[in-house]
Amino acid sequence: MKEKNNKVSKKRINYKKLGILTIFIVVILNIIVVPIKSFASTKYTQTLKSGIDKFPKEYQEYLKKLKQQHPNWSFDAYYTGISWSELIENEKDHGHNRVINSADELWKCDCGNIASGYACASEGIIKYYLDPRNFLDDVSIFQFLEISYNPNVHKLEGIEKSVKNTFLDDEVTFTLNGNKKTMKYSEIILEAAKQSNMSPYSIRTKIIQEVGSKGSNSVTGTYPGYEGYYNFFNYGAYDNGNAIANGLAKAKELGWDNQYTSIIEGAKLVSNSYTNAGQNTAYFYKWDVVGNSILKPGKTQTFIDKSYFFRHQYMTNVQDPKSQSKTLFNLYANTGILNEKLNFIIPIYNNMPEKPVELPTNIKPSENDDTLIYYVTDSDGINVRNKPSTSGEKICAIPKNTKVIVLDKNAGNANGYVWFKIKLENGKIGYVASDYIAYYSGKDTNTNNSNNNNNGGNNKPNEITNVKIDKNKLNITITPEATAKQIIEKTGIKKYTITDAKGNKIDINSPVGTGYKIINNDNKQAYTVIKIGDSNGDAKVNSADLLTIQKHLLGVKKITDNNKNISSDANGDGKINSADLLKIQKHLLNVSKIKF
């Protein structure tokens, strides 16, 4: 959703032109119109520091884990000079921060302000989405990705893959300067990136965010009254009245009478107003907490006028940066550049709460209450279903950190998961896979605060749950945590030989991987080990496996071994795709372990 007030963009651009003179005038006017006590303006000194060690300690723990898995990633700490209390005071006013109207009631302000299906956001949900510490996992962190154009990373081949299965996977013919031309959308997007200094993936993401994967009436060129005009970014499509007509009126005003011009000029307009004005991440597009130019590492800038902050936002939906982060992660994973040199700029505020802000909820722990409270750990959120199975109908989706009440920790076993029966804050009852929620509070002594929730009293104490044996296929499938001793114990084989993928004998204390053999010396049967996530068969699950899967997806080097194909399908859906990359990433970062 776009900010309703178009004056915001004009004001920010005017500030750039007028500079110090404008600030001087504002200060003089303030002296004239406000009481004596208000003479002193707030001073904002901002600086950018590179390196994990430049972050507060509560940030460092998460960033170090990410660095271990992505050695080429770098992180910049953006000290905004804005106090947390002032930030909230300026963001909680009515109208310019919204949530979808179907959201939880605690997410919505009690003012009742609703427009185009979006309600005014509550202070609690604004605080949650403002707090960067809630989004320092491998997916959500992409809302802090620096989105400038990088010719070493951004190639046409990758853009073409990123637009697959969208309306942008096409070519268009248009007339430009009297000449007829035919270009692929991917080619136009790359050209827009070069001219705007904006990442082509961010351009692609913004277009899809605005007009959908199939496109909308904003980009058909056939909308009544605005035939021949296009607006891929919904620029000027304000909520009041007909948003599409508003956007196309702006396109007509700007002369966007073909697809090429609309994308190129739209990207430049967005970039000049936002990216090149210092708001060079998806987070900064939403939350205007930076100055009016890109701040380089080691540099400092100071402002004495808060008019530079809080109002210049590209969208009103508080969840939009989180939504974009998932899209960007998938794009970078699917195009094989997830482990390239990517830089993330993460804001820091003065006097932040000691702990990350939690999602607003009425579900709270009590010393006198035996209620079992869990919270969602998965960065993408989870689906609540009407029965304990992935085939169950989806009741709703709940985001990361949502608290739920667990009614039954042994509601069923299906699809490789133990299922919990849960109750949501709004009273709805459903089922979730226990891998993706963790214990928050309660008096169940069998539960701890780790992601290994399946035990929780559901399984026999000595039952080995990370080894599965298929006696018909002579396969032994294991999770990354399984040991050779557990395999032998599970099989019950008394006399055995363990060999690696090359046939070399190893002892029972060595790690085992995909392609290894467990040989029963009594009957000479040989079981083949398949270790989930061990795509290259080196007995480890690490970034090398991510690279193996990426090369397979890109067609650089296909996985031809059937056992390695099975081990690469980390989520068990029968396909090898970016979802498996994400599954392994989360395992490596201890967000959620790979289990059956």
For residues 141 and 4, membership in a common domain is answered with yes
pLDDT at 238: 78
For residues 541 and 560, membership in a common domain is answered with yes
The DSSP bridge partners found for residue 468 are: 477
Burial class (CB in 10 A: 0-12, 13-18, 19+), 117: exposed
pLDDT at 345: 96
Q: Residue ranges of the chain with pLDDT lower than 50?
A: 1-40, 442-462
Q: Which domain holds residue 17?
A: 1-65+74-146+297-327+341-360
pLDDT at 369: 61
C-alpha separations of 157 from 72, 186, 534 in Å = 21, 9, 28
pLDDT at 522: 87
Q: List CB contacts of 389: < 8 A, sequence separation 6 or more.
A: 412, 414, 415, 419, 431
For residue 121, the 8-state DSSP code is B
pLDDT at 499: 93
Q: Report d(CA 48, CA 54) in Å as an integer.
A: 9
For residues 551 and 410, membership in a common domain is answered with no
Of 462, 488, 520, the position where a domain reaches its end is 462
pLDDT at 245: 92
Q: What is the largest CA-CA distance in the chain?
A: 97
Residue 287 lies in a domain: no
Token duo for residue 278 = 């210092």
On the CB side of 582, CA atoms within 13 Å amount to: 20
Please name the residue that has the structure tokens 């309703």: 4
Count of domains forming the chain: 4
pTM of the model: 0.69
In CATH, what number is assigned to the domain containing residue 559? 1.10.1330.10
Of 462, 484, 502, the position where a domain reaches its end is 462
Residue 225 lies in a domain: yes
Residue 291 lies in a domain: no
Residue 58 lies in a domain: yes
For residues 207 and 86, membership in a common domain is answered with no
Residue 421 lies in a domain: yes
Coil, helix or strand at residue 98: strand
Q: Which of 385, 398, 379, 405 is nearest to 102 (CA)?
A: 398
pLDDT at 370: 66
Is the CB of residue 448 less than 8 Å from the CB of residue 439?
A: yes
Residue 593 lies in a domain: no
For residues 424 and 452, membership in a common domain is answered with yes
For residues 413 and 504, membership in a common domain is answered with no
Residue 581 lies in a domain: yes
pLDDT at 112: 84
Of 408, 443, 462, the position where a domain reaches its end is 462
In CATH, what number is assigned to the domain containing residue 424? 2.30.30.40
DSSP string, 371-402: --EEEE--TT-EEEESSSSTTSPEEEEE-TT-
For residues 443 and 480, membership in a common domain is answered with no
Please name the residue that has the structure tokens 């959500």: 140
For residues 458 and 497, membership in a common domain is answered with no
For residues 531 and 493, membership in a common domain is answered with yes
Q: Which of 329, 350, 297, 339 is nearest to 51 (CA)?
A: 297
Q: What percent of the chain has pLDDT over 70?
A: 88
pLDDT at 490: 86
For residues 438 and 543, membership in a common domain is answered with no
Residue 237 lies in a domain: yes
For residues 319 and 429, membership in a common domain is answered with no
For residues 386 and 260, membership in a common domain is answered with no
